[in-house]
Amino acid sequence: MAKWGQGDPRWIVEEREDGTNVNNWHWTERDATSWSKGKLRESLVGIVVENEAGRCQISDLKQVEGEASCSSRKGKLIFFYEWNIRLGWKGIIKESGAKHKGLIEIPNLSEENEVDDTEVNVSKKKGDGDVLKDLMKTAGTAKVREALGDYLKALKTEFTVGMILPTRATATQELTVKRKLSENTLQIQVPLGVRIPTVALHMTELFDTGVERLYSIFTVKELVQKFSKSPAILEAEKGGKFQMFDGNVTGEYIDLLANEKIVMKWRCRNWPEEHYATVVLNFVPTPGQTELQLDCKGVPVCKEENMKFCWQKQHFEEIKGLLQLTTLSG
């Protein structure tokens, strides 16, 4: 039996200033599904292979079904991913100029198999062009497996940044190294919390109204309450706060340019604590309409679909309904 005060260090809950996942002991999990779909598209679509007979390119991601996640437990990362992927490819035979299309199917990309052993099936529509199919089955398959390896590497590095937090001892070691490397630098940053993987969104929508009217719907409390169908708190000025949808959405106005632009700090209630995205609304007049351009940076990867739903369904469609009612009552 250990002496008092000399227990197994694995069971000592170490204090951290941010109080987050002390000692990396507690189980945490991140959903990597949405992030993975984007990364797989980025890694696979556009792959080109070529030889003296022809040239082929992966033209589109037709299907990506499955899920991925990363968990942290006892200071270790545990990965789960299972994907069924279907890609479209097209090619051209150099001598004849004939064009052909086909499919690449990856029925089971998962942690159970090494990338080099992952099944990659290449097929082509009926007719000539087997020389292109052979090119995709050899060089194409090799490039696909290489791209899958790049995705997995990014999943285990880029996506997981911040999931394993430093303990006091490792943080002290990092500080010592940083001081040695930058003796003349006054700023020494200590990683206190989790860096959250984020995505950027861009959406546009046309509204049958002028810019003044549309701008007011985002800045006048009564109009916000009408389209959101819930109480709202609104201080539409630089540095002013806002709260909508029964407190599910909160934030602050960073900048306002009347009838042209609104910049906001924005967060949903179920986002990580104190994490905000930056939302920019540009109001572009067009003949008889206004185009609203939405740019949003800093959305947590796991909340991307929720954010799109929030703006498309709870903002754009409800505002259009409000405009229609106003027109009819007028």
> Mind listing the pLDDT tens digit for each residue in 76-95?
778 889 999 999 999 999 99
Q: What is the CATH number of domain 198-328?
A: 3.30.530.20
Q: Give span(s): CATH 3.30.530.20, the chain.
A: 198-328
CATH number of 28-158: 3.15.10.20
**Could you give the angle at which helices 221-228 and 211-219 cross, rounded to 10 degrees?**
80
Q: Is the confidence at residue 117, as pLDDT, over 50?
A: yes
Q: Where in the chain is the domain with CATH 3.15.10.20?
A: 28-158
Rounded to the nearest integer, the mean pLDDT of the chain is: 82
Tell me the mean pLDDT in the region 31-41: 89
pLDDT tens digits along 175-222 = 554 455 444 433 333 344 456 788 999 999 999 999 999 999 999 999
The reported pLDDT for the residue numbered 281 is 97
Highest-scoring range by mean pLDDT, 168-172, 173-177, 227-231:
227-231
Q: How many CA atoms lie within 13 A of 171 on its CB side?
A: 19
User: What is the model's pLDDT at position 329?
Assistant: 56
**Residue type present at position 256:** L
Contact 40/151 with Cβ under 8 angstroms? yes
**Interatomic CA distance for residues 270 and 302, integer angstroms:** 11
Alpha-carbon span 289 to 328, nearest angstrom:
17
| Secondary element (H or E) of residue 108 | strand 99-110
- The confidence score (pLDDT) of residue 186 equals 39
- Report the range of poorest mean pLDDT among 90-104, 282-296, 316-330: 316-330
The pLDDT confidence band at residue 162, using thresholds 50, 70 and 90, is low
